[in-house]
């Protein structure tokens, strides 16, 4: 059954808005797990704009499912991850001025550096996922540098406005997922997914995990985190399994 990873960065964003201690992303992570999250995701950014080192330490001690640390492929971050030892690491591109992670990692353009970072994380026993655009060259490069998974950046699909564009972006995700599975890479997907657009993606049987943050936390403000996580969990776990099942 596909899994739901809940990203709690935005809980920390709200806390940082006042520089105090509330709301605590660690408490949110616990509630998300109780509501059915299969993993917790946090992005420790170089500028520490939301998640702090303290959050990561506490999450590693308290998360009962799996902790996915998103981070830039930088030496300082590799050092932190080798100390904290999350269940896995997702390498993402990072630019200081961006509002969120805009675009995937250019794996094809920095193979030797990423090969080294993936190897360092593997030496520490940490599986590695690479956050990439649904592009054949990037998928092949992810396989070549030794990644265990890819996470397909679904931003272009999520932002597409009209049916023809949505279908075209959807097909790119399908092709990337199929190629990755052929190369024996695990397939995750995330970015910009919400309670509406995730449904079509659940028809892609290769996708094993959906990593979702903003839409869940936004809904949680109105209906509570428990309900927001439960509703998303239900959407990702009744996929398309139904439509793939034999009829008659």
Binding site for ligand PXP (CB under 6 A): 7, 9, 43, 70, 90, 92, 100-101, 131, 151, 190-193, 211-215
Q: Which is nearer to ligand PXP, 7 or 202 (CB)?
A: 7
Least gap, CB of 191 to ligand PXP (angstroms): 4
For 86, phi then psi, to 5°, come to -65, 170
**Smaller CB distance to ligand PXP: residue 59 or 193?**
193
Q: Which is nearer to ligand PXP, 66 or 244 (CB)?
A: 66
Widest CA span of the chain, in angstroms?
Answer: 58
Note whether 179 and 136 are within 8 A (CB). yes
Whose Cβ is closer to ligand PXP: residue 55's or residue 151's?
Answer: 151
d(CA 54, CA 26): 10
- Least Å distance, CB 143 to ligand PXP, is 18
**Rounded distance, CA 226 to CA 224, Å?**
6
Q: Which of the residues are catalytic? A: 43, 70, 191
Nearest distance from residue 217's CB to ligand PXP, in Å? 8
Angle at 126 between CA 122 and CA 128, to 5 degrees: 80
Helix (H, G, I), strand (E, B) or coil at 206: coil
3-state SS, residue 7: strand
**CA 179 to chain CA centroid, nearest Å:** 19
CB of 248 to ligand PXP, least distance (A): 38
CA–CA distances in Å: residue 135 to residues 25, 59, 209: 33, 33, 19
């Amino acid at each position: 059954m596909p899994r739901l990873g809940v990203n709690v960065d935005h809980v920390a964003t709200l806390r940082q808005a006042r520089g105090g201690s509330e709301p605590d992303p660690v408490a949110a992570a616990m509630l998300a797990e109780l509501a059915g999250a299969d993993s917790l995701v946090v992005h420790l950014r170089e500028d520490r704009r939301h998640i702090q080192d303290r959050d990561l330490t506490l999450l590693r001690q308290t998360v009962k499912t799996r902790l996915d640390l998103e981070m830039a492929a930088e030496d300082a971050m590799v050092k932190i991850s080798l100390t904290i030892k999350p269940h896995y690491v997702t390498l993402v591109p990072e630019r200081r001025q961006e509002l969120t992670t805009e675009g995937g990692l250019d794996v094809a353009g920095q193979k030797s550096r990423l090969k080294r970072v993936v190897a360092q994380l593997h030496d520490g026993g940490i599986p590695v996922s690479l956050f990439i655009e649904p592009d054949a060259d990037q998928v092949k490069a992810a396989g070549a540098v030794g990644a265990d998974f890819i996470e397909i950046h679904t931003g272009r699909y999520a932002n597409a406005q009209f049916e023809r564009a949505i279908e075209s972006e959807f097909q790119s995700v399908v092709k990337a997922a199929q190629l990755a599975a052929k190369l024996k890479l695990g397939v995750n997907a995330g970015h910009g997914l919400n309670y509406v657009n995730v449904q079509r993606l659940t028809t892609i049987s290769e996708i094993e995990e959906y990593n979702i943050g903003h839409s869940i936390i936004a809904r949680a403000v109105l209906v509570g985190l428990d309900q927001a996580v439960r509703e998303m969990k239900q959407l990702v776990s009744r996929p398309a399994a139904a439509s793939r099942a034999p009829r008659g």
